[in-house]
Amino acid sequence: MKIPGESHTPAFNTRDPVYLQVVRQFKIDIATGKLQAGQTIPSRRELAASLNINPNTAQRAYKEMEDQQLIVTEGNSPSRVTADERILGSIREELIAESVDAFVAAVRKIGVPVEELLQIVRTKYESAQSTREEAAT
């Protein structure tokens, strides 16, 4: 999700509804600390304009996030990220579980033994981490 002050807009895939992709990006932004508990988020119209999506799609994404208690909207006040630590803590776990489930489903088809798979994942993860640290310096 493009938050004011960020310089990129995510590319949407054609498989999943755009509003769900917005919700997922919002969860990622919370899990990675780009969005903090209690932080004010853009209005529905601002979000639609910044992402170049239909305002009704932005409205649907906000409704979904309210239903999942990710955001709180009180009266005419701007929407804010929830301060509920239980919900905030579950977001990271949910994202990890979704990614692992998709990965396991894809890899099982190949028939890689678990120990070999874990070694490959460890090596790739550490390599990616090293590359990221080098790029940051």
* Distance of alpha carbon 38 from alpha carbon 67, whole angstroms: 17
**pTM for this entry:** 0.79
Q: List residues bridging with 40 in a β-sheet.
A: 80
* Distance of alpha carbon 19 from alpha carbon 109, whole angstroms: 31
24-57: per-residue pLDDT in tens? Answer: 999 999 999 999 999 999 999 999 999 999 999 9
pLDDT at residue 134, rounded to an integer: 83
* Distance of alpha carbon 79 from alpha carbon 52, whole angstroms: 20
- Helix 44-51, helix 55-67: angle, nearest 10: 120
66-102: per-residue pLDDT in tens? Answer: 999 999 999 889 999 999 999 999 999 999 999 999 9
In this structure, which topology does domain 18-83 adopt according to CATH? Arc Repressor Mutant, subunit A (1.10.10)
Q: Check whether 2 has a pLDDT greater than 80.
A: no
134 versus 67: which is more confidently predicted?
Answer: 67
pLDDT at residue 137, rounded to an integer: 75
Please give the average per-residue pLDDT across 52-64, as a whole number: 97
pLDDT at residue 67, rounded to an integer: 97
Residue 70 CB-density burial (10 A; 0-12 exposed, 13-18 middle, 19+ buried): buried
| Exposed e or buried b per residue across 9-36, where buried means at least 16 C-beta atoms within 10 angstroms of its C-beta | eeebeeeeebbebbbbbbbbbbbeeebe
* Distance of alpha carbon 65 from alpha carbon 102, whole angstroms: 23
* Spacing of C-alpha 47 from chain mean position: 15
